[in-house]
Each structure stands twice: as structure tokens, then as C-alpha cells.
Chains A and B, each alone.
Chain A
Amino acid sequence: MFSLQGITNGIEKWLHNNMSANMALLVECAIVIFLAISLFAILGLILVLMERKVAAHMQIRLGPNRVGPFGMLQTTADTLKLLLKEGLTPDGADKFLFNLAPFVIMIVAMLILAPIAFATGFQIWDLNIGVLYVTAISSISVIAILMAGWASNNKYSMLGAMRSGAQIVSYELSAGLSIISIVVLTGSLQISEIIESQRNGWWLFKGHIPAVIAFVIFIIAVTAETNRAPFDLAEAESELTAGFHTEYSGMRFALFFLAEYINIFIVCAIGATLFLGGWMPLHIGSWQGFNHIMDFIPSSVWFFGKTFLLIFLIMWFRWTFPRLRVDQLLSLEWKYLLPISMFNLLLMTVVAIMGWHF
């Protein structure tokens, strides 16, 4: 059976047999960096194409269909165009911060990649506070957006950045609380253990109604955290033209654009890990035959399948709903999501203590 774990173990064994331990670690690092960067590039291309296709079909259009079969090379062509474009820096901008911001946002996205388990035993760094690490690092992305908005010396950019600051900081609360409610059930912050605890069923199904509520709140909160419609106030095309990246062009704009999609992938991967069992196949109780067939599907397919399902859900939101106003955005968080998720956490704790979950 195809397994990524076999490949990684094989490579590690070969490296350790042929060179010293430190050298092997260095080579492994290089391989990981290469893989992470190529994953970014490929994900960016796929997700942008996917977004355009999903949008087109919801809008009774066909979407890109000219470059390559079914328009599959469209995003590649767009990337080439962006690479060739001039990256302007406005005259009154703070040059250092203006140029730094796109890289900060990319680095943040890359850092969150570390604890994500892509398949059985295929994980960059299985640290024991994985979930905490993710929530901590993801809150840094607001700094990059504020940096971009402030350094652009543009009023639209600044308004967008300030909006996004208020938005990301408040929505992190309910995203964190819904993550904690799963941690309460699992009793561990380690990603691999959280996945392992779902061997006999996903938390979304095992955790009764509190888990479903936590899942819904998590999806809403991460949509807001990644600045996606209906919470795209930081960009708010019809209000602030392009929000915090109004002044960016060329490859620096592309980095922001890419980071948005990578962030979506990451939060959906976290969601899939916490609620849908990560790379765990779907098992139903005592149906041995069914479970056996499900086991036959490679774990990486399970992981990416679940993640892309969640990504599709978030895209579906974007192409259906109008945008919220800035005060409504905050009242949704503070008046609805936060009280509900706090109450939900309490409920979840009761469920966990009484052992009512399956």
C-alpha cells in the first residue's frame, strides 16, 4: 500500500547510513524547506484556480478555460505576469516596512505549516504543544497586515489595516475557544495525539452537539481570521478599493495573494485535524468490511480530501454572502460567537468529565 511514511523512513535510514547525524539533519532540513516551498507554490496555483472555478460555476459562468486544458494553466500564466510586473514602492511609503510586510505574512504562513500532519507519520515537527503553537503563530499575521497598511501611506490601506486589526484580534478568541473545546476532549495539545484519539470516530460525530457548535464557530471564526468574505473588511473591494494591499503591485502583491490562500489551507487543515480526524479514514462502528475498504485509501488522500472540503465550504460562503459592516462584524463576535463558544466550552467540559462522548 502506498504510504508517505515508508518513503520518509527510507530516506532517513539512507541518510543516517551514509553520513554523520548532524549532516543528515541538515540534509533533511533542506529537503523539508524545499518541500514546504513547493507545497506553497502548488497550493497557491491550485487554490486560486479552484476559487475561480467554484466562483464561476456558482455564478453560472464557465471560468478560466483558455490557457491549457480546462484553463488549468491560467494561474501559472497569471503568476508569470505578476513576476514580470514592476513592483512599485510609493514615494511617501515607509520603504523598509513596506517591503518587509509581504515577507512577514509569508513567513507566518510557513511557520504554521510545521505541526500539521499531512499523512500517517508525515509531519514536519510533532511538538507537544502543537495546537497552542498554531494559535500563537497565527496571531502574528495581523502584524504583517498592520505593517502593510501603515507603511503604504495610503488612507484606504490604513483604514483596511485598522479594520483587520480589530477583526483578527477579536475573532481569535472564539477560534481559540473552539479549539480548546476539542483539547478538553482529547486531553492533549499534541497534533498526533489529537488525531490518534479519533481512531474510532471523528470528534465532530463523537462529541455530540457541543462539538458541532464548536465546529460551526470555528469555521466562522477562521473565515474572519483569514479575511475572507463575508468578513473581507480589510480588503472590502467596494469600500476601500483593495484595503491594506492597495499600493502593492507585482510580486509583492502576489505574496499577499498567495498568503491569503495558504492561510485558508492551513486553517482548514487545522479544522480537519481537530474535528474531522486529520488523516484518519472514516470508520463506522462495527462495519468491519466498510472500515477495511476505507483503510485502503491512503491517509494523505483522506487529509487533503477533508481539507479541500472545508476550503470549498469557505469559498461557498464567499460567493454567496454580502459583506458585514465593521460594527456588525464586531457585534457578531462579542455578542454572539464569544458567549456561545464560552457556554459551549462549559458544556464540552461537562461532556468530557462525565464521559458522555463515544
Chain B
Amino acid sequence: MFLKEYIKDVYSGVKSLLIGMRRTGKYFITPREIITEQYPEFRAQLSERFRGEVVMPHDEKNEHACTGCTACELACPNGTIKIITKFDIQPDGKKKKAIDTFIYHLELCTMCNLCIVACPTDAIKMAQNFEHSVFDRNTLTKKLNNPGSKIREGIE
């Protein structure tokens, strides 16, 4: 009786090991199952919602939609965004608040998307760029508005 149990033990043990080996062996001989992507040649197509970096889109006339309301600055939990405003003198002589510099600290950003949600004019959005490595961390502090850009007409 003891011997029977013993042989049964050995048999079932060896069988379970062979089942596992069959599985890995199967993958060894089917190279089409390989799922790795060759990175520098093949860059993943990220979906349009992927949050990689905050950018401010400018149109062809070098105009953006940012009014300088600082809603994003207030919404940001990390102090990633800093907005410096100035007053433009408009043709009719009135003073109007506008942004001077939109400073974005990529090194502090956690891509939580709260600034994008907070923006009333959709002036900023998330870009799908994910290769952020640089040699100098100062380059991660970015100025989002292009030089010489101004606010688009009709955006309050």
C-alpha cells in the first residue's frame, strides 16, 4: 500500500512538471507569440488621451487661447504651473490682462490632468510625448507660449 502511494506520488509529480515544460517548450518553438516591441525603431502609437506633457497649442497666426486667468495654476497640486501676466494696451486705449510667460515645470508635473480640466478656454492640452529624458534638468522648465504670440481674437 505504501509503495503504491509512493509510486503514485512520483508519477503525479513528474507529470505536473512535464505539463509545465510542455507550456514553456511550446512558446519556445512559436516565435510569433513574442510580444516585445523593438523600441527605437518601433515607437508605440499612444492614444490621443495619453498624458505626456502639457502644451499650449498655437495656430498659424501664432495665437493662443490663454487669457491668463490662472485657473490652471490654482488647480495644480504641485506648483507645476506659474503664470506671469502683463497688461496689453489695446488699440482703443483700454488695458487688457494677458500672459507674459506661461512657465511649466515638467520635472514637477505628475500628469494628473487637473489643469486641463480647469482651463475655461481650452488653451492648454496634453501632448502624447513620453521621451522626456534630458541631460540638464533646467531644460525641463519650459515656457509654453511662443515668443511674440498673442491671444486669439474673441476669447474672453
B10 in contact with A319 (CB, 8 Å): no
What residues of A have a CB within 8 angstroms of the CB of B112 in the complex?
Answer: none
CB of B27 within 8 Å of the partner chain: yes
Does B25 sit within 8 A of A, measured CB to CB? Answer: yes
Is A29 interfacial (CB-CB < 8 Å)? no
B35 CB-CB contact with A under 8 Å: yes
Stretch at the interface among B16-24, B61-69, B74-82: B16-24
User: In the complex, which range does the number of interface residues on chain A fall in?
Assistant: 10 to 19
The smallest beta-carbon distance between A88 and chain B, in angstroms, is 29
Chain B residues bordering chain A, tally (CB within 8 A):
15
Residues of A that sit less than 8 Å from B by CB: 54, 57-62, 65, 316-317, 319-321, 336, 340
Report which of B10, B24, B31, B36 forms a contact with A316, defined as CB distance below 8 A. B24
Given contact pairs A54-B28, A316-B21, A320-B17, enumerate 7 new A-B contacts (beta carbons under 8 Å): A57-B31, A62-B34, A319-B24, A320-B20, A320-B21, A320-B24, A321-B20
Complex contacts, B20 vs chain A, CB 8 Å: 320-321
Residues of chain A with a CB closer than 8 A to B24's CB: 58, 316, 319-320
| Chain B hits for A65, CB < 8 A | 38
Contact of B27 among A60, A62, A321, A336 (CB under 8 A): A60
- 3 closest A-B pairs by beta carbon, nearest first, are A58-B24, A320-B24, A57-B28
Q: Which residues of A contact B33 (CB under 8 A)?
A: 60
Give bound CA distance, A287 to B128, whole Å: 67
Complex: how many Å from CA A320 to CA B25? Answer: 9
Chain B 1-59 residues near chain A, CB threshold 8 A? 10, 17, 20-21, 23-25, 27-28, 31, 33-36, 38
CA of A77 to CA of B25, assembled, Å: 29
Which A residues lie within 8 Å of B10 (CB)?
Answer: 336, 340
